[in-house]
Amino acid sequence: MQPPAFPASDLIAGYVTRFDAEFDVFGLKTSDGREYDILLGDMTFAKLIQNLDEAYPDATSSMRFMLTPGRQLFVYGVAYPDSPKFEAKQIVFVGRGEEDFCFEKQNWWIDQVKSLANFYLKAQFGDGKIDYRNYRTNISLSGVKSTTNYRQETDTISRLVYGFATA
């Protein structure tokens, strides 16, 4: 990897090629064949991918044992100008085992869509009666509706409907 001219953060998806426990560095090869040296820093943490309604599945204590060749994962980190290594800040494993892919489990996507739908219903209508006169297209990530913007945007609504339909 060519070091950038300035510190830059990025997310890299790929497959582990090797792990050097002595130097806390592992190789990560992307689907297009590029290989990166990933450095585990003092503050690197790891987790398993999770569905929206699931508890946080921490994997920090076992991340070094999970860095086996062929394992797919995602690494969010920082590339610094003075280092050829990419420093990992967060690692997201797609499953506990090398051939385990959480999103391939039978109800993964059904549960994901159900949790999205429940979020939108609760954010839009609370626990009360569903009344579309109270529907708003401007909702924060925490589910809070805008109290100042009452404009209804059809592109936002159509993306929601398309997202549910394709999922």
Q: 84-121: per-residue pLDDT in tens?
A: 889 999 999 998 878 788 787 888 888 888 888 888 77
Cβ-proximal residues to 143 (8 Å cutoff; 6+ apart), any chain? 119, 122, 123
Per-residue pLDDT for 167 more than 70? Answer: no
Per-residue pLDDT for 27 more than 80? Answer: yes
Q: Hey, what are 30's tokens? A: 């992307």
Q: Hey, what are 37's tokens? A: 């040296």
CA distances from 46 to 78, 110, 161, 163 (A): 15, 25, 33, 28
**pLDDT tier for residue 137 given thresholds of 50, 70 and 90:** low
**pLDDT tier for residue 54 given thresholds of 50, 70 and 90:** confident
pTM of structure: 0.76
- For the chain, list the domains and their CATH numbers: 8-103 (2.40.50.140), 108-166 (no CATH)
Cβ-proximal residues to 152 (8 Å cutoff; 6+ apart), any chain? 135, 136, 137
Per-residue pLDDT for 15 more than 80? Answer: yes
Residue with more model confidence, 86 or 135: 86
